[in-house]
Amino acid sequence: MTASLRGCPVCSHTEANDIWNQKYCLDEGSPLPGNTTIASCSACGFVFARSHARASDYRKYYAEATKYESSLNASGSGDTILDQKRIASLVDELTDGVPKDQAILDIGAAKGGVLVEFKRRGYTNLYGIDPSPACVEAIRARGIEACVATLEDSEWDLDPRVCDLIILSHVLEHVYDMRECTKAATKRLSATGKLYIEVPDASQYSVDGFPPFYFFDPEHINHCDLDAIKMLGFHTGLSVIKSHQKYLDVGATSSYPALGVWLGLQKEPADQSPSIRTADKIRTYVHQSSEVSTKMPYNKFLRDLVHHQTPVIIWGAGSHGRRMLANSLLAQANLIGIIDNDAGKQGKTIGNVMVYPDQAGMRMAMEQGATMVVAIALNAATVVDQIRRSAPQLEIIIV
């Protein structure tokens, strides 16, 4: 029997209006869907990704994913200068007026970068949960209590059960059922406690500084703005205390739009449901992305590669590369390999093409005279410099 399409993760309504069909070329055997529909709920207006994938598919993916264990690509660990800067700024906001003895829980803590920064500032009642056993071990190795769990789990092997500050930083865009997961977090909140939510700000999606469709990601299945968080609070007994838009430094000239929201338990039920008007902004973003995609100068070079069936090696197995492989002429090219520095991706196949570490991939490129296609969304210049130093004779195309 075919599974039904995912319903609205905020209000649970089952009908939605399609906006855009987004394809991804995923690892062989990935539990995530390679084809999703960006849609708006016909009842509340919330924008989310629909597919036949189930909550269990996403739980399996995050339990087994090595991306968030990586020091190279994952945020949340504090292993890179940019991530350290982001975490320090976040903790600056979260420690304002918060006593050192308050219980603080980070849900989806990755390798515990945020909790380590709290600890550095003298906070001691710190707790983390994450679906990845390797991430939890990394948190424990830093002297902080943590357990393997998800928001969907009814019990956590973790104390205390009630916290004064609960952090959901760049988590809700990943979860299958935002409403139930937020309810689960709220159960652990003290009567005067605060829930801090930070998400990509869907009202600020733009093609400026980012590749087309950059904000549609196989992991990001919910597209939130402030109205969406207010609606989520309406359904989960929370009200917004304060909020602000922010821009995260992700390198080069790109600033990632995000939204930080503090919520507390409602003192009395809200009179009426908020309205969500994100769909029109997402449609505008889709239109802009489509226009930019058709005008990209690399299209001519990709057509030549396909026509001559020149050997091609792609550098970049991240979300941008996966979008390009599924939606551009790269799918018709003579692909002989993919390079990625993330050890967790190496040895896997994407679209029947093997992922190699940089040295092995570069050696293959030089032996076969391959064209290097750099599919790095941000800071591609660093990779281009590396290729030019190692093999100046190779042709390079940036997509």
How much is the pTM?
A: 0.93
Which CATH number is associated with domain 297-398? 3.40.50.720
Residue 76: predicted pLDDT: 62
Instruction: Tell me the backbone φ, ψ of residue 92, rounded to 5 degrees.
Output: -55, -45
Per-residue pLDDT of 320-368, as tens digits, reads 999 999 999 999 999 999 999 999 899 999 999 999 999 999 999 999 9
Is the distance from CB of 215 to CB of 225 less than 8 angstroms?
Answer: no
**What is the rounded average pLDDT of the residues 205-217?**
95
Q: Which of 254, 276, 222, 256 is nearest to 45 (CA)?
A: 276
303-325 exposure pattern, b = at least 16 Cβ within 10 A, e = fewer: eebbeeeebbbbbbbbbbbbbbb
User: Do 57-289 and 297-398 share a fold?
Assistant: yes
Residue 97: predicted pLDDT: 87
Residue 156's CB is within 10 A of a number of other CB atoms, namely 18
Per-residue pLDDT of 232-254, as tens digits, reads 999 999 999 999 999 998 876 77
Correct CATH for 57-289 of 3.40.50.150, 3.30.70.3040, 3.30.70.1290, 3.40.50.720: 3.40.50.150
Q: Residue 27: is its pLDDT beyond 80? A: yes
Is the distance from CB of 117 to CB of 92 less than 8 angstroms?
Answer: no
CA–CA dist 203, 223 (Å, integer): 9
Per-residue pLDDT of 286-321, as tens digits, reads 999 999 999 999 999 999 999 999 999 999 999 999
Per-residue pLDDT of 58-115, as tens digits, reads 999 988 876 666 555 556 667 788 889 999 999 999 999 899 999 999 999 999 999 9
Average pLDDT across the chain, whole number: 92
Domain ranges of the chain: 57-289, 297-398
Structural tokens at position 359: 């040295």
Structural tokens at position 277: 């008007």
